[in-house]
């Protein structure tokens, strides 16, 4: 009876030692590389288990693990636990930094509106509306977040009136103007040189 309890404790410890490093790795990657990315618990668990398998591969070569009995023998060694955690931290840091400095510069991991809002806040833009009007101003406020309605507030807005010859006339229309998602056709950033 005592052997079964010890065997069960060893099995639980083995599972923890083999699974926890994958969760640690994925947490480091998420923290370093894609801090704006929010995943549900199921997806996080799947990725963490995948990283647990990836971490187990070098562990099996380092400790020459050929069977489950070899795993049960080494899993109680402090050296095995430390090497497992070290590999998970190293893999997490490497992948996280690659995502942050190489991949994230080319691809936005957040939604398009939030990325736009963060990069263009307090910048000059032209807002084209669904009723074919054109407004020039600077982004004073903008809504961000998953559940927020998409709204943008222009500071010092000017209505752009275009003549038939293509010349534009700017008409001041107040201190600020609010556009909702249904009013916006497109937004153009104005580059000031």
List the CATH number of the domain containing 174: 2.30.30.100
**What does the buried/exposed string (b/e) look like for 42-62 if buried means 16 or more CB atoms within 10 Å of the residue's CB?**
eeeeebbeebbebbbeebeee
pLDDT at 158: 92
Q: How far apart are CA 30 and CA 109, in angstroms?
A: 11
Number of domains making up the chain: 2
pLDDT of 193 reads 54
Q: pLDDT below 70 — which residues of the chain?
A: 1-7, 35-37, 104-114, 145-148, 192-193
**87 and 29 in a common domain:** yes
Residue-level pLDDT at 94: 93
pLDDT of residue 138: 87
Q: What token pair was written down for 126?
A: 């032209």
Helix H or strand E encompassing 150:
none
Indicate the residue among 75, 106, 137 that finishes a domain.
106
Residues 57 and 132 in one domain: no
Do 183 and 98 share a structural domain?
Answer: no
pLDDT of 147: 65
pLDDT in tens, 67-123: 877 887 888 889 999 999 999 999 999 998 888 887 766 655 556 666 777 777 778
Of 106, 124, 155, the one marking the end of a domain is 106
Contact 96, 31 (CB under 8 A): yes
Residues 95 and 21 in one domain: yes
* Confidence at residue 23, expressed as pLDDT on a 0 to 100 scale: 94
Domain extent for 28: 2-106
Query: Do 11 and 68 fall into the same domain?
Result: yes
Backbone angles phi, psi at 122, to 5 degrees: 70, 25
Q: Are residues 139 and 168 in the same domain?
A: yes
Indicate whether 7 and 97 sit together in one domain. Answer: yes
pTM: 0.54
């Amino acid at each position: 009876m005592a052997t079964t309890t010890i065997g069960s404790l060893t099995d639980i410890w083995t599972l923890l030692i083999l699974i926890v490093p994958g969760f640690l790795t994925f947490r480091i990657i998420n923290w370093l590389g894609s801090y704006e990315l929010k995943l549900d618990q199921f997806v996080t668990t799947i990725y963490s288990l995948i990283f647990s398998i990836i971490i187990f591969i070098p562990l099996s070569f380092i400790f020459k693990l050929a069977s489950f009995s070899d795993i049960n023998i080494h899993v109680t060694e402090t050296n095995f636990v430390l090497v497992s955690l070290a590999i998970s931290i190293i893999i997490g840091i490497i992948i996280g930094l690659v995502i942050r400095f190489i991949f994230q510069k080319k691809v936005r991991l957040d939604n398009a509106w939030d990325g736009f809002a963060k990069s263009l806040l307090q910048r000059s833009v032209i807002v084209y509306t669904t009723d074919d009007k054109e407004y020039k101003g600077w982004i004073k406020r903008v809504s961000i977040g998953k559940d927020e309605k998409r709204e943008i507030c222009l500071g010092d807005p000017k209505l752009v009136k275009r003549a038939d010859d293509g010349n534009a006339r700017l008409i001041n229309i107040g201190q600020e103007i609010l556009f909702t998602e249904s009013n916006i056709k497109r937004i153009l950033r104005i580059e000031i040189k």
